[in-house]
């Protein structure tokens, strides 16, 4: 409205023939003095202007509050009850943009994306399949259990009764070593077995992590929709999913047990065909 008034007044003073030139000059003046120059100053001296601008804005808000209240009252019947929401996709897009402009490292961007997508990943996608689980019969003695080379590779080992599908608990490697050292080498490992928590293979990894923290445990037994053993999942598996990379230590002979299980299954099919 102000620009229109100034333009009309300038036309009255200088005449209608200068109307086009006045409009062009007025547009350039508004563009430079109200848009380009203030924004450039703000971008270059934002630190120095932050506090003075905050104080000025505070008093401006108080000054125009009655107008804001009135406009809110007028537009209230036309507004939706649901407030604007920021979606996960928007946050992921912002993280990607931050990575492109250099505000976030590639690794930081990956972590953010993985964390936001945890609830979309199911436990069945990260578990160690039943076919490659190292488990021990509860009838074995401590000595017999320690005789297996694989026993030394795992901290926690599932224990079964009669058949490997009937997992009844788990033993901790360190407790087997302590029992052996203290003269209980002939004790059967069912006396050292601890209860094992069972979870559904459809459980989202986000909830799985919460359950690990709540239960203060590191290994769960995973069951399929029929209650059959699908495999095991560890706290390490959940953390690897959050980080987006495998955590491999000096005792790991296989980096990805899921891939290893698929390879074994494929090899068995080829042998059966032969």
- Per-residue pLDDT reduced to its tens digit, 71-129: 888 887 776 655 567 788 888 888 888 888 888 888 888 888 889 889 899 999 999 99
pLDDT score at 265: 38
pLDDT score at 142: 94
- Do β-strands 219-223 and 197-200 pair in parallel, antiparallel, or remain unpaired? parallel
Domain 121-268, CATH number (from 3.40.250.10, 3.40.50.970, 3.10.580.10, 3.30.930.10):
3.10.580.10
**Per the structure block, which two tokens stand in for 85?**
């929401």
Strands, E, within the chain: which ranges? Answer: 128-129, 136-137, 156-160, 167-172, 197-200, 219-223, 229-234
Measured CA to CA, the distance from residue 231 to residue 253 in angstroms comes to: 19
Measured CA to CA, the distance from residue 207 to residue 211 in angstroms comes to: 6
CA angle 58, 41, 27 (to 5 degrees): 95
- Do β-strands 167-172 and 219-223 pair in parallel, antiparallel, or remain unpaired? unpaired
pTM of the model: 0.59
pLDDT score at 266: 42
Handedness of CA 206, 208, 212, 214 (dihedral sign): positive
Q: In b/e form, how buried is each residue of 239-256, taking b as 16+ CB within 10 angstroms? A: ebbbeeeeeeeeeeeeee
Residues of the chain with pLDDT under 50: 260-262, 264-274
CB 39 within 8 A of CB 33: no
**Per the structure block, which two tokens stand in for 159?**
């224990």
pLDDT score at 253: 53
Measured CA to CA, the distance from residue 203 to residue 218 in angstroms comes to: 16
Measured CA to CA, the distance from residue 217 to residue 19 in angstroms comes to: 80
Contacts (Cβ under 8 Å, ≥6 apart) of 229: 130, 165, 167, 221, 222, 223
| Phi, psi of 192, deg, nearest 5 | -105, -5
Instruction: Give the residue extent of every domain in the chain.
Output: 1-44, 89-119, 121-268
CB 171 within 8 A of CB 194: yes
pLDDT score at 180: 92
pLDDT score at 33: 86
pLDDT score at 189: 94
Measured CA to CA, the distance from residue 179 to residue 182 in angstroms comes to: 5
């Amino acid at each position: 409205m102000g620009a229109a008034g100034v333009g009309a007044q300038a036309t009255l003073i200088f005449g209608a023939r200068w109307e086009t030139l006045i409009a062009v000059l007025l547009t350039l003046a508004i563009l430079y003095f109200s848009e380009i120059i203030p924004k450039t100053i703000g971008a270059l001296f934002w630190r120095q202007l932050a506090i003075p601008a905050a104080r000025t804005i505070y008093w401006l808000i108080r000054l125009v509050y009655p107008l804001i209240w009135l406009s809110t009252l007028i537009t209230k019947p036309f507004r939706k009850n649901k407030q604007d929401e920021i979606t996960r996709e928007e946050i992921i897009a912002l993280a990607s943009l931050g990575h492109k402009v250099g505000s976030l490292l590639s690794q930081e961007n990956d972590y953010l994306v993985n964390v936001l997508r945890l609830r979309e990943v199911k436990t069945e996608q990260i578990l160690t399949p039943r076919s490659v689980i190292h488990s021990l019969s509860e009838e074995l003695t401590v000595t017999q259990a320690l005789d297996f080379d694989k026993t030394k590779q795992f901290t926690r080992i599932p224990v079964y009764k009669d058949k490997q599908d009937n997992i009844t608990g788990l033993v901790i490697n360190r407790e087997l070593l302590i029992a052996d050292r203290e003269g209980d080498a002939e004790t059967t490992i069912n006396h050292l077995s601890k209860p094992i928590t069972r979870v559904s293979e459809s459980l989202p990894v986000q909830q799985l992590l919460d359950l690990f923290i709540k239960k203060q445990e590191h290994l769960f037994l995973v069951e399929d929709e029929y209650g059959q053993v699908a495999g095991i999942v560890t706290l390490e598996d959940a953390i690897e999913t959050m980080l987006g990379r495998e955590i491999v230590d000096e005792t790991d002979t296989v980096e990805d047990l899921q891939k290893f299980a698929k390879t074994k299954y494929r090899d068995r099919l080829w042998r059966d065909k032969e």
